[in-house]
Amino acid sequence: MPRPVHFEIFGDNPEKVAAFYGSVFGWSIERWGEVPYWLADTGEGPGIHGAIAPPNQHGQKVVLTMAVDDLDDAVARIENAGGSVLAERSTIPGVGDFAHAFDPNGVLFGILRPLPTGEDRDSGPGGV
């Protein structure tokens, strides 16, 4: 069953947003390379990791990403249930295949087919 594996929090000043969540919750937050994207390690135990990023073009403030076993099947299920896929799939190097979609209410979410265990991974978004 697909479960949330990553979150993104968007803000006009991502450095300030990152400092806020780091201070309030003790999250370890580091910029991911040269990209304006800050990975948030939320700690050990149950929960998911996430990221802080500049505003997205869709006006969403928080986006959840669900892990799926088959991206094409998930896209078909989204469309059959009344949702829409925002863009074609892309690959996040070292992480997996990814797409954004809207539910019927207009809420943006992500779907990710993580790299299978044993494939080359890095510490990219979600740490998945």
pLDDT digits (tens, 9 = 90+) for 1-35: 789 999 999 999 999 999 999 999 999 999 999 98
120 has a pLDDT exceeding 60: no
| Cβ–Cβ under 8 Å, residues 86 and 100 | yes
Give the whole-number percent of the chain exceeding pLDDT 90.
Answer: 76
pLDDT digits (tens, 9 = 90+) for 25-84: 999 999 999 989 999 999 998 899 999 999 988 889 999 999 999 999 999 999 999 999
Domain range summary for the chain, segments of one domain joined by +: 1-58, 68-120
Q: Please check whether the domain covering 1-58 is classified as CATH 3.10.180.10.
A: yes
- The reply to whether 68-120 shares the fold of 1-58 is yes
The CATH architecture one would assign to domain 68-120 is: Roll (3.10)
